[in-house]
Amino acid sequence: MITSFLPLVAAVLFAIGAIGVLIRRNAIVILMCIELMLNAVNLTFASYAYELRSMAGHVFIFFVMTVAAAEAAVGLGIVIAVFRKRQSADVDDVNLMRW
Amino acid sequence: MLVINIIAFVAIFSALMVVFHRSPMVSVVFLIVNLVCIALFFLFLHAQFLFAIQLIVYAGAIMVLFVFVVMLLNLRKEEELLPGWRVQRALAFVGGPLLVGALWTALWRRGRSSEAFPGSFGSGFGTAEDIGQLLFNDYLFQFEAASVLLVVAMIGAVVLARRKES
Amino acid sequence: MLSLLYLIPLLPLAGFVINGLLGKRFLPKWAISAVACGTVLLAFLLSLGAVSSLNNLDSVASVRGVLDVDPAAQRVTLTVAQWLAGGSGANGAVFTIPWGFTLDPLSAVMLLVVTGVGFLIHVYSVGYMAHEEGYWRYFAYLNLFMSMMLTLVLGSSFPVMFVGWEGVGLCSYLLIGFDYPKDSAADAGRKAFIVNRIGDMAFILAMSWIFASLGSLGFTQAMAQVGKLTPSAAAGIALLLFIGACGKSAQIPLYVWLPDAMAGPTPVSALIHAATMVTAGVYMVCRCSALYLQGPAALTVVAVVGALTALLAATMALRQNDIKKVLAYSTVSQLGYMFLAAGVGAFSAAIFHLMTHAFFKALLFLGSGSVIHAMSGEQDLRKMGGLKKLLGITYPTFLIATLAIAGIPGLSGFFSKDEILWKALGHENRHGLGGTWFWIAGVAAAGLTTFYMFRLVFLAFFGEGRMDEETKHHIHESPKVMTVPLMVLAVLSVAGGWVGIPKSLSFGADLNRFEHFLAPVFEPVMAKEAHAAGLLAEGSVAGHETGSGSGLEYLLMLATLGVVAVGFVLAYRFYRSRPEIPQRLAERLPTLGNLLANKYYVDELYDAILVQPYWRLCDFLSAFDRKVIDGLVNAVGAFTEVCSQFIKLFQTGQVRRYALWFMLGAIALLWYLV
């Protein structure tokens, strides 16, 4: 029961995170939505690890967390650097790389 | 089972709040709530080690980092949701359900398969010892690579965030 | 000596290469002249040697594959190399063309005329072109021309002859347009080449037809098999070849380039447009005499065109004021005579007239060159006069040539022209165009010829000088290098006809050595044709005079002389004793006068019918190329630009937009996979 229910929940969480990435303008909030998506993926992995009785799923979750941590750190560093230059954490202001 | 439903409901509600609340600070708090729910899910899934790690690393360290940055940048001004980006918003709201639909269809197509699988858990499933065994034996290279990744990220964060000597 | 036949065209070619490559900077003027004249002289001497050994061919051995000796036909063929080797035709014929040269009496006559007169003109040019900037270029082209003409004459097959044919056309263009900065010269060169090309196209078609039906393009092989062709097929091929001849030999309707070609240097006019190149058409028709005899309808066309041209061109010469233009129309007219002769089957008479015409026409042109030289470049007859006393050598030689072309008895022109007229009258034609008409046209043209030639002489040499003081002061006789060729040609103009004295005038003695010389070439075909058509009545085709014919011949000769005398008298009255008559006639008959003066507006007609529509087509195609084709290409470019304008909207720099595309793409992919 649990294993058929949780992946559905994870899918919903993933979609919500996706919508958030598309809708919000604040860079930090976007990063948070990305964390949301990553967690949904983690949840899916965990439930399948449980279903298939395999620890490989847990290992993968471990690595996803590692990468999420690194990415959050670097992303926030970028946001701070941009904020210093432009006094704004709005991603729409970061639009110099265009035609 | 009821507990899981409640936790699922809380998780989804907090996710919606993360996305739709205007204040970033509030969003951070609700994200923490969401992470705790995920951790509880891990617990139910016999992933004890991960439950602990989630709480310590994710909800503990990463979220604290977020809080720091939100405070540092003092973002209290309210941002309007989508001025002049109506198409994007519409497409996003269309895409979301579509995405869910796709994933749910995939899951449904997969069907139930747990019956055919070995029923019992090996002892130590989900413990630190078990993960440790895998990490240091089968996935050693990936483990070391991950550590390199962390070092790089550390350096990157430091370089990006420091003040330039003018 | 005969195996050195290939040297004859090769020597002038070597002269062309030497003068062409080194002449501009490395060779002094005397060296250029020496190379140019020397090679032609050597070619002439070699020709003499080769022709003389035609008499005792029995002692010359054949070398299989290289030298083919046929004593019966008095023909020697030298094969130098295999030139073209192609596939095989439908009837099993294999297309291989050897590069070979044939020497038989016909090509022997042409050879001696071309090299002999050519040499004299080369010498003359040394003096005439002495002050020219492009001296080396002139002689290089002249040598190339000689080489090409000799290839044409000696060629043993149609393609080899065609190489020479095209080559002389090219040299004609180069030499007419020698002074290319001058627009009239450049235009005339182009006109000559383009009109020639029309003839060449017909020639190529004829060659293809010959190969397809006869299986071979060599002269001996092809002519031997013409019996296989139906008369209409033979006539068709012959007509195509004749169109080619019309282009090269300036007959109606392709004669329009020759008068314009007078824009080139005078020695060029003498050599190319009087003595040699324009006679190539006549030579070709005579070479293919068997073919023409197989399709008599073509012969009729040839005769009619020849007679018409002779008459018409003579009328056009009446009102020309440029000394060279008069001579140009005269050339066209005389060429008409030659074709008339060929058209009635008198091939040897045509070649005879070709030879004598080469002598006196070259002399006329070179003499006029001397006059122009003396007049400091003036060519208008209305501005000349009284040169008789001042040009002591030019005048007598010019007069001799005029007498020859008019057909005064004793000189060369008389014998050759009279032979043509006699043969024309005796020609019984199946199509009802009796020989009488040809004779009348010929005699009328003879009268006109006398008239306009003496008009020229009277206007240029007699009376009071009408030029300005400056020019009059500079009048002088030409240097020896120019007058000596004049004298040689004068002797030839007088004596050149004595090899062809007809029986009627030699009191029974058979002195017509010319006809005998050419007999091996023409007799076999003539006899065959005469037998087949049963035309042995009335002393016609084969040229043997019958008893009743001789009396008639004297009568006709006298009639011709009478017409000639009338022409002379009229010219005398109009231009010597009562010079006001031409003026009054012009006023009384203005339309006729204008028509003649403007050459019947033929050039204007061609321009309106052919040239203008062609230019309009060119304009249309040019516009089409610019608008449609370039437009298409530009449209592709424009399309790319439009696309890129569209695509660049995706590069907004907005991160969220990119994220949207990611998401939508991922969703689409998921749905595809699910």
Which residue in this structure is represented by tokens 């996935």?
B139
Can you tell me the distance from the alpha carbon of C332 to that of C262, in angstroms, rounded to the nearest whole number?
Answer: 13
Query: Residues C526-553: what's their mean pLDDT?
Result: 51
- Residues of chain C positioned with their CB less than 8 A from the CB of B110: none
Nearest-by-Cβ selection for C667 from B85, B95, B109: B95
Q: C649 touching B, CB under 8 A?
A: no
B153 in contact with C, Cβ within 8 Å: no
Q: Is the model's pLDDT at C633 over the cut of 80?
A: yes
**Residue B58 DSSP label:** I
Contact A25, A92 (CB under 8 A): yes
- Per-residue confidence at C538, pLDDT binned at 50, 70, 90? very low
| C410-429 pLDDT per residue, tens | 788 888 888 888 888 777 65
Q: Do C655 and A94 touch (CB under 8 A)?
A: yes
Residue type, position B134, single letter? L
CB contact under 8 Å between A63 and B146, yes or no, is yes
- Smallest CA–CA distance, residue B93 to chain A, in Å, is 7
B96 versus C462: which is more confidently predicted? B96
Average pLDDT over residues C127-147: 89
Q: What is the pLDDT of residue C537?
A: 40
Cβ distance B95 to C663 less than 8 Å, yes or no, reads yes
Residue C97 — φ and ψ, nearest 5°? -115, 115
Whether residue A9 is predicted with pLDDT greater than 90 in this model: the reply is yes
CB–CB contact A28 B58 (8 Å)? no
pLDDT at C26 over 90: no
Calculate mean pLDDT across residues C37-54: 88
Q: Is residue C431's pLDDT more than 60?
A: no
The CA distance from B106 to the nearest CA of chain A, in Å, is 10
Rounded to the nearest angstrom, the minimum Cα separation between C642 and chain B is 24
Cβ neighbours of A21 (radius 10 Å) = 23
Q: Residue B7: name the closest of A6, C378, C386 by CA.
A: A6
Contact residues, A window 31-90, toward B, CB-based 8 Å cutoff: 31-33, 35-36, 39, 42-43, 46-47, 49-53, 55-56, 58-59, 61-63, 65-74, 76-81, 83-84, 89-90
pLDDT, averaged across chain C: 83
Chain B residues inside the 8 Å CB shell of A89: 73, 75
Is the pLDDT at A19 greater than 90, yes or no?
yes
Pick from C307, C305, C547, C519: nearest CA to C420 = C307
C471 sits in which H/E element: helix C469-474
- Work out the minimum CA distance from A38 to partner chain B, whole angstroms: 11
Q: Does the pLDDT at position C533 exceed 60?
A: no
What pLDDT score was predicted for residue A65? 94
Which chains border C (3 or more CB–CB pairs < 8 Å)? A, B
Query: With pLDDT > 90 as the criterion, what percentage of chain C qualifies?
Result: 23
- Of the candidate ranges A68-82, C57-71, C191-205, the one whose mean pLDDT is the lowest: C57-71
B157 touches chain A (CB under 8 A): yes
Cβ within 8 Å, pair B92-A23: yes
Residues 6+ apart with CB under 8 A from C145: C167, C168, C171, C172, C175, C271, C272, C277
Q: What is the pLDDT of residue B80?
A: 62
User: Which of A23, A14, A70, A73 is CA-nearest to residue A45?
Assistant: A14
Distance CA C172, CA C179 (A): 13
- Higher-confidence residue: C656 or C1? C656
| A-interface mutation test, from B1, B42, B120, B139, most A Cβ less than 10 A away | B42
pLDDT of C558 > 50? The answer is yes
What ranges in C134-256 are assigned the alpha helix state H? 135-154, 158-176, 183-214, 219-224, 231-249
Backbone angles phi, psi at C86, to 5 degrees: -120, -165
Closest-approach residue (CA) in chain C for B95: C664
Distance from CA of A44 to the nearest CA of B (A): 10
**Which tokens go with C31?**
């060296």
User: Which residue in chain A has the smallest CA separation from B98?
Assistant: A15
Interchain CB contact of C664 with B (< 8 Å): yes
Q: Do A77 and B161 touch (CB under 8 A)?
A: yes
- B30-62 pLDDT, tens digit per residue, is 999 999 999 999 999 888 999 999 999 999 999
Q: Residue C124: which pLDDT band, with cuts at 50, 70 and 90?
A: very high
Residues of chain B with pLDDT under 70: 75-84, 111-122, 165-166
Torsions phi, psi for C5 (to 5 deg): -55, -35
According to DSSP, the β-strands at C67-70 and C94-103 are unpaired
- Burial class of A8 by CB neighbour count within 10 A (0 to 12, 13 to 18, 19+): middle
Structure-model confidence comparison of residues A88 and C164, the more confident one? C164
- Mean predicted confidence (pLDDT) in C204-214: 89
Contacts of B69 in chain A (CB under 8 A): 28, 76, 79-80
Predicted confidence at residue C220, as pLDDT, reads: 83
Provide the 3-class DSSP secondary structure of residue B162: coil
Smallest CA–CA distance from C670 into chain B, residue: B102
The predicted structure's pLDDT at residue C505: 63
- Residue C669, min C-alpha distance to chain B (Å): 10
Contact C653 A95 (CB under 8 A): yes
Type of residue found at C651? Q
Query: Are the beta carbons of C656 and A91 separated by less than 8 Å?
Result: yes
> C656 vs A92: CB contact, 8 Å cut-off?
yes
Question: Region C138-152: what's the mean pLDDT?
Answer: 93
Report the 10 Å Cβ neighbour count for C324: 23
Share of residues in chain A with pLDDT > 70 (%): 97
* Phi-psi group of C508: left, alpha or beta (phi > 0 → left; psi -120 to 50 → alpha; rest → beta): left
Residue C541 confidence (pLDDT): 41
- A23: closest CA of chain C, how far (Å): 8
Which positions in chain B touch C649 (Cβ < 8 Å)? none
Q: Do B91 and C671 touch (CB under 8 A)?
A: no
* Whether the predicted pLDDT of C564 surpasses 50: yes
**Which member of A39, A51, A52 has the closest CB to residue B35?**
A39
Q: In a mutagenesis test of the A interface, which of C643, C650, C656, C667 is the best target, namely the one with the most A β-carbons within 10 Å?
A: C656
Structure tokens at C241: 């070849």
A97–C663 C-beta distance less than 8 A? no
Is the pLDDT assigned to residue C511 strictly greater than 70? no
What pLDDT digit, counting tens, does each position of C309-337 carry? 999 999 888 888 889 999 999 999 999 99
CB contact under 8 A, B88 and C673: no
Task: Walk me through the domains of chain A, giving residue ranges and CATH numbers.
Answer: 2-93 (1.10.287.3510)
Over residues C70-92, mean pLDDT: 75
CB contact under 8 A, C670 and B106: yes
Average pLDDT over residues A65-78: 93
Q: Give the per-residue pLDDT at A59.
A: 93
C335-380 residue pLDDT tens: 999 999 888 888 888 888 998 999 999 999 999 999 888 888 888 8
CA distance A45 to chain B (A): 10
Contacts of B120 in chain A (CB under 8 A): 53
Instruction: Please give the model's pTM, rounded to 2 decimal places.
Output: 0.71
pLDDT of the residue at C548: 40
Task: State the complex-level ipTM.
Answer: 0.91
